Homo-oligomer: A and B are copies of this chain.
Amino acid sequence: MTNHIFTTFDKIKDRNAKEIYLKQRGKVIWLTGLSGSGKTTLASMLEKRLFEFNYFCQILDGDNVRSGINKNLRFTEEDRLENIRRIAEVSKLFMNCGIILICSFISPTNEMRQLARDIIGDNDFLEVFINTPLEVCEQRDPKGLYKKARAGEIKNFTGISSPFEKPQNPFLEVDNTNPELEQTVKYMLLKIMPEIRFDPTTNL
């Protein structure tokens, strides 16, 4: 048996090589906030604008996570943490591939967000608090969930029967009461751009 079969080949396509390929820095933009605060809408708009600037992003949200990787999880406290753990691990895999993640999850507790931050790493976890007042979220109630929660049909509904712990020191805080969404997104982009911008000189 020749020996070179098990030569370890350089893992040249590591994060840095992939960031060079995509000309961007992989990061995780983590949107946290109440149901109806505008996370999904802002995530979409953010992705759209970033794509116009040639940034390669991936949105993770309830839609593509609860129907796939996390479909075998329930809403017990343990499973809610496992939900966030898996999302963070998937995000990390994407980020290590140089991709910018936009994660959109209520993630109401400090424990949950700390778990995600620990997995992803402090430097790469951009916590964005969509701080839209409860009254505004409840007035919007796009999915009729607040109504059901008030009627007692949904238990442990964040903001009504279950607490939302405000992030203490988020990377960015947005009040999404303002209907001028384009302005809100612009404000977010101004803060996010320096974090994802690729600077080739750092590789010299």
Contacts and interface: CB of A to CB of B under 8 A. Distances in A.
Interface of A: 1-2, 4-7, 9-13, 17-18, 21-22, 38, 41, 44-45, 47-48, 51, 56-60, 64, 68-69, 72, 82, 86, 89-90, 92-94, 96-97, 99, 119, 136, 139-140, 142, 179, 181
28 contacts: A1-B139, A1-B140, A1-B179, A4-B179, A4-B181, A5-B181, A6-B41, A6-B140, A7-B41, A9-B44, A12-B51, A13-B51, A13-B57, A13-B59, A18-B56, A21-B56, A22-B56, A58-B93, A60-B93, A64-B93, A64-B96, A68-B89, A68-B119, A69-B86, A72-B82, A86-B86, A93-B94, A97-B99
A70 to B, nearest CB: 8
Given A58-B97, A93-B68, A97-B58, A179 B2 contact: yes
B9 A45 contact: yes
Copies in the complex: 2
A45 B9 CA distance: 7
A192 B89 CA distance: 29
Contacts of A17: 51
